[in-house]
Amino acid sequence: MPLIAILPGDGIGPEVTREARRVLERVGDFTFEEAPVGGAAYRETGHPLPEATLALARRSDAVLFGAIGDPEFEAIERSLRPEAALLGIRKELNLFANLRPAKLFAGLEDASSLRPEIARSIDVMIVRELTGDVYFGEKGHRKTPEGLREGHDLMRYDEREVERIARVGFETAMRRKKRLCSVDKANVLETSQLWRDVVIEVSADYPDVTLSHMYVDNAAMQLVRDPGQFDVIVTGNLFGDILSDQASMCAGSIGMLPSASLSGEGGRGMYEPIHGSAPDIAGQGKANPCAAILSAAMLLRYSLGMAAEADRIEAAVAKAITDGARTADLGGSLSTTAMAEAVLAALA
Ligand code: NAD
Ligand code: IPM
Ligand code: MN
């Protein structure tokens, strides 16, 4: 029986993974093991990513991750903050490819920040590089010679890192509408110039894919002007983080966007909503569980070869929404559990 590790984390993380687990239990037989991560783990063990949690992630067939982050830990040493656990798992498991699909579920036009006719056109897969860039470059703080405080974070990529994520971008485009837009800031950044050069080199292996390039500032603008122009976007870690949160509001809510983080080695991956621990609504039963439920569907599809069950879950979310189920972020009043129950009812 497949072993699914559940790392609920902080804030709304446990609230949404609980519901995603119920949906998984409805479509198949799995063994679940849970372990603490983030602030919750720090409170229990003194470290946000305990050895036992990482070991569980390594020996499981797939990881379902909730969210981490807790205002209580904003001022402690960076390596002990909740975020370090998430970055640590991504790095340790070599999960360099983060797939973030953003599409509008029919009926959510009113929840989008865009006019309905524009909102309806969004159906983009953002392929975000996840283990490099300014996130993992050398960082620090010091005093300048004049005694001013200075902080620095090195933005860097090597060509091997760019090549492998570019391939994921092209492969993803091959399975969709064969249009790939590489987003960078090559007019200013050396990192981006390397990125663009390597993406162009890799494109020679994918003659059927139409490749375009866009600067990230323009991409942010185009995403709200005409999101339908995008099929697949491939971009670096930081730009992908920002653009995917933006894309979520085109699609109605950050509570709707799942993600898959993959290593390309075998099927193992980690699956998580793109949102965080939402301290402002944590503990109130208000969180939208759909991003976590849809992440569970991606888990079935990408790690367990259960595409039919993944399709069923996605169809159930779509049906629950067309039937009118809405949490507060979507303009409704259902609780987290009631929203999940609407999805479960639609599954039946
Ligand atoms: P956030 O995504 O947690 O919340 C942003 C806004 O979206 C909030 O108003 C929140 O209530 C709302 N929101 C998020 N998820 C929702 C859901 N499922 N249903 C309804 N509303 C939802 O981002 P933030 O406030 O910038 O960060 C809070 C903490 O989360 C920070 O500690 C941050 O580092 C962390 N974080 C973690 C992850 C992760 O675990 N992958 C991702 C982003 C942020
Ligand atoms: C995300 C989050 C993380 C990121 C943070 C919490 C480290 O924003 O998963 O999108 O920046 O990657
Ligand atoms: Mn983010």
The per-residue pLDDT for range 118-128, each reduced to its tens digit, is: 999 999 999 99
Domain spans of the chain?
Answer: 1-98+261-348, 113-250
Q: Looking at domain 113-250, which CATH architecture does it have? A: 3-Layer(aba) Sandwich (3.40)
CB-ligand 1 contact for 280 (6 Å cutoff): yes
Determine if ligand 1 sits within 6 Å of the CB of residue 247.
Answer: no
- Residue 140 is predicted with a pLDDT of 96
268: pLDDT confidence band, cut at 50, 70 and 90?
Answer: confident
User: 3-class SS at 279?
Assistant: coil
ipTM: 0.99
Choose the residue to mutate in 7, 87, 96, 239 for probing ligand 2, maximizing ligand atoms within 8 Å of C-beta: 87
296 lines ligand 2 (CB under 6 A): no
Does pLDDT of 148 surpass 90?
A: yes
**Ligand 3 centre and the CA of 225: distance in Å?**
22
| Cα 25 from chain centre | 23
- d(C-alpha 262, C-alpha 127), whole Å: 11
**Could you tell me the pLDDT band of residue 144, with boundaries at 50, 70 and 90?**
very high
Residue nearest atom 10 in ligand 1 by C-alpha distance:
278
Q: What is the mean pLDDT of residues 326-336?
A: 98
Beta strands in the chain (DSSP E): 3-9, 31-34, 62-67, 97-103, 123-129, 139-143, 149-153, 179-184, 210-215, 232-235, 260-262, 269-271
Shortest-distance atom of ligand 1 to CA 281: 11
Q: What is the distance between the alpha carbons of residues 205 and 343, in angstroms, rounded to a whole number? A: 41
What average pLDDT does this structure show over 161-174? 98
- CB neighbours (10 Å) of residue 21? 21
Residue nearest to atom 7 of ligand 2 (CA): 83
Q: Which residues pair with 183 in a beta bridge?
A: 214, 235
The verdict on whether residue 143 carries a ligand-binding annotation is: no
Overall average pLDDT of the 280-295 stretch:
98
Q: What is the mean pLDDT of residues 169-176?
A: 98
Report the C-alpha gap between 247 and 221 in whole angstroms. 11
Nearest one of 57, 105, 90 to 343, comparing CA atoms: 105
What's the whole-number mean pLDDT along residues 180-204? 98
Confidence (pLDDT) at 87: 98
Using the predicted structure, report yes or no on whether residue 43 has a pLDDT greater than 80: yes
Where does the pLDDT of residue 207 fall: very low under 50, low under 70, confident under 90, or very high at 90 and above?
A: very high
Share of the chain above pLDDT 70, in %: 100
Predicted model pTM? 0.98
Considering the domain 1-98+261-348 in this protein, what is its CATH number?
Answer: 3.40.718.10
Residue 70 Cβ < 6 Å to ligand 2: no
pLDDT higher than threshold 80 for residue 265: no
pLDDT(135) > 80:
yes
pLDDT tens profile 243-262: 999 999 999 999 999 999 99
d(CA 154, CA 152): 7
Calculate ∠ Cα 159-161-162, nearest 5°: 65
Mean pLDDT of 271-279: 98
Q: Which of 130, 275, 284 to mutate to test the pocket of ligand 1 (most atoms within 8 A of CB)?
A: 275
Which band of pLDDT confidence, cut at 50, 70 and 90, is reported for residue 155? very high
C-alpha–C-alpha distance, residues 142 and 4, integer Å: 43
pLDDT at 49: 98
Residue 192 has pLDDT above 90, yes or no: yes
Check if the beta carbon of residue 23 is closer than 8 Å to that of residue 313.
yes
For the segment 193-218, the average pLDDT, to the nearest whole number, is 98
Mean pLDDT of the residues in the chain: 98
100 a known binding residue? yes
How would residue 183 be classed by pLDDT, with cut points 50, 70 and 90?
Answer: very high
Atom of ligand 2 nearest to the CA of 130: 12
In ligand 1, the atom with minimum distance to the C-alpha of 67 is 40
Question: Residue 86 pLDDT more than 90?
Answer: yes
Catalytic residues: 135, 185, 217, 241, 245
| CA separation for the pair 166, 128 (Å, rounded) | 10
pLDDT band of residue 264 (cuts 50, 70, 90) is: confident
Protein residue whose Cα sits closest to atom 34 of ligand 1: 69
